[in-house]
Structure 1
Amino acid sequence: MGYPAPSGTDAWAGIFLASDTRGIYGLMDVREDVDIPSGWTGALVYAPTLMPGGGSCVELTTIHWRGSDFGQSFNDGLGIWDWCHQNSFVNFWSFNTTFKNKYVRSVTDEWGNLRPKYYAVVYADNPAGTPYSYDTWRVLLYNYNTGYYDLMRSIEGTGFGLSTGWSMHESMYMQGTYNGGACIALPSIRTIGMNVRRPDGSWTPPTAAIRTYGGVQGGNCWMNSSYTLYIDQYTDGDWWGWTPSNSN
């Protein structure tokens, strides 16, 4: 079974970013309890995702699926999608002990719960480039053992069809397809401390972010208010999807 592209799913919610934000970073949730119910063939969740503006060649997403449905051995992990050349995932990392020892640490949230997170950066070499201009796009993860960022992938190219960036919570066949069309409870998924790169090279919270919902699923849980989306875009760049509880 082929996997859908991030942004090629059937229900989504998150924020769009301006085309001149050619870089994005944030602390991203590592959730290993986004369980795909038995029998839900092809169902998945991509969340959180990171995609800079400007026609990026790369998108980074945390993946939650039944890996065997897609020819993979892991159910939760990290993937890089190549938008410029292969139009497919070009890297996968499962959340195994080796990966988590390097890149994952727990952060206490406002409810006093420890939430495992990784720190990711996706950016273009030229922050002042015009949309779709040729550039090198890079994905980095912070290595807590060395105190430096590790380059996980770089892809050169001229971008693809959308100039906006985004950070999303996306799903396929999770809303309105199974379970009698009812919205199932999922753990909340969030990004905190998100900043975007401006044309002058500075990094600031995404004050021009646009809250967005969409998809083709008739039972889209974002659109019928079963789930909610919170964005603290004017202070510290936090956003999260409550699906449906804000306390988990």
Structure 2
Amino acid sequence: MKRVRTTAGVLGAGAALLLACGLGVPAATALPAPERTAPQSAAANPCTSAAADSGRQVAGALPRAEVHRQLDAQAERHRAARELPGKGPVGAPGDGSRLKVDIHPAQGTAFKEAAGRDGACATHTVSREVDVTEGSTTIYTPTLYPAGGSCIELVTVYTQGRATVSAWDWCKSVNFEASVPIDDAFLAAYTDGSSAYTGRVVRTDAGSNTWTASLYNHTTGAWDEVFTQSGQTQGRNDGWDIYELYSTTDASNVAYSCHAMAGLTFESSNISVRTDGQWAAASPDNSDTHYDQPDSAFYCPGRSYSMVNQYDHWKAVG
């Protein structure tokens, strides 16, 4: 999740939180973009299909109180850190003289702000093998937020002992408000056997600025609702589909997130942008990489990242 604009009040002093979402340092100079290859078949892309809304809530959704019990600690931690640089020497009681480094890097597709932007969609990998072992690490990979003043960010969240697909409310509570665990039932309904789900966030009413996050149900061929919200965004008017995390380095200057994600593939494909109700693949026309930071920002030797197809498909290993 990205840095909020200046919306003092709801987030307290300096509401430029990078909450489980904000980038704490200026984006690095973008690397040369890869050449664009042929787009993927639309038939394999639920984002641009004619699938209807099911009218049902996503299966397995947690009660709101449980969402807050599980995820409020992450929100509070990132709010508390919003005034700090994204990287810098910090210490904790008992650490002695050893310095740790707080990191908050990101790479992936950034959606350009433009009139008429009203949705985004992507197919995101999930893993039940991510092993977060300490509390400084929260992984939001991938995370999807459409351009156009969205009320919702749809986030794949990995914390200690938990993996969920969750919805962050950018218009009212500025917190996680819905969540579904990545368990056997989730994989059966919302993935197609490839350990990847397709999620979208679209504006459903322009007058009230109402947005709805949904997951594509491969069993029914329809979209199930995760969360809906309306109001004025306290986030940004551009957007993203990115690999993002918060972590801290260990004594060998390797991020704990690196250990948690070692050898695992994190991928986003079928990345799509909606403008005035019309879907198009993410491309140089509507997207770029202005949130990218260099590989070194991840403090993860051996990690690899590539923009497979500009800008509708990226992939990272580790």
TM range (shorter): 0.7 to 0.9
- Identify the match of residue 10 of structure 1 among 104, 111, 115: 104
Q: Is the 8 A contact 1:15 1:210 kept in 2?
A: yes
Compare CA radii of gyration and give the structure with the larger one.
2
TM-score by length of 1: 0.76
Rounded Cα–Cα distance in structure 1 between residues aligned with 2:305 and 2:253: 18
Give the corresponding residue for 2:41: none
Structure-to-structure mapping, 1:161-172, within 5 angstroms: 161-172=235-246
Structure-to-structure mapping, 1:165-184, within 5 angstroms: 165-174=239-248, 177-182=249-254, 184=258
Moved over 4 A (4+): 222-226
Structure-to-structure mapping, 1:1-248, within 5 angstroms: 2-4=73-75, 10-20=104-114, 21-36=117-132, 38=133, 40-67=134-161, 75-107=162-194, 116-125=195-204, 134-174=208-248, 177-182=249-254, 184=258, 185-199=262-276, 201-208=277-284, 209-211=287-289, 212-214=291-293, 220-221=297-298, 227-233=304-310, 237-243=312-318
Q: Is the 8 A contact 1:222 1:228 kept in 2?
A: no
Rounded Cα–Cα distance in structure 1 between residues aligned with 2:251 and 2:317: 19
Q: How many residues align?
A: 213
Q: Is the 8 A contact 2:139 2:244 kept in 1?
A: yes
Q: CA deviation at 1:167?
A: 0.6
Rounded Cα–Cα distance in structure 1 between residues aligned with 2:301 and 2:237: 28
Local SS of the residue matching 2:179: strand
| Distance change (3 Å), C-alpha of 1:61 and 1:179 | farther
Unaligned runs of 5+ residues in structure 2 are 1-71, 83-102
Rounded Cα–Cα distance in structure 2 between residues aligned with 1:222 and 1:214: 12
Rounded Cα–Cα distance in structure 2 between residues aligned with 1:203 and 1:136: 18
Give the corresponding residue for 1:112: none
Unaligned runs of 5+ residues in structure 1 are 68-74, 108-115, 244-248
Q: CA deviation at 1:191?
A: 0.9
More strand by share: 1
Q: Is the 8 A contact 1:81 1:87 kept in 2?
A: yes
TM-score by length of 2: 0.60
Q: CA deviation at 1:214?
A: 3.7
| Distance change (3 Å), C-alpha of 1:222 and 1:23 | farther
Q: Is the 8 A contact 1:15 1:166 kept in 2?
A: yes
Deviations 1:75-99 (A, max 9, x none): 2111100011111100111112222
Q: Is the 8 A contact 2:74 2:138 kept in 1?
A: no
Percentage of identical aligned residues:
23
Rounded Cα–Cα distance in structure 1 between residues aligned with 2:282 and 2:310: 6
Q: CA deviation at 1:221?
A: 2.1
Rounded Cα–Cα distance in structure 2 between residues aligned with 1:223 and 1:35: 15
Rounded Cα–Cα distance in structure 2 between residues aligned with 1:222 and 1:25: 29
RMSD value over aligned CA atoms?
2.8
Q: CA deviation at 1:141?
A: 0.9
Q: Is the 8 A contact 1:24 1:52 kept in 2?
A: yes
Local SS of the residue matching 1:33: coil
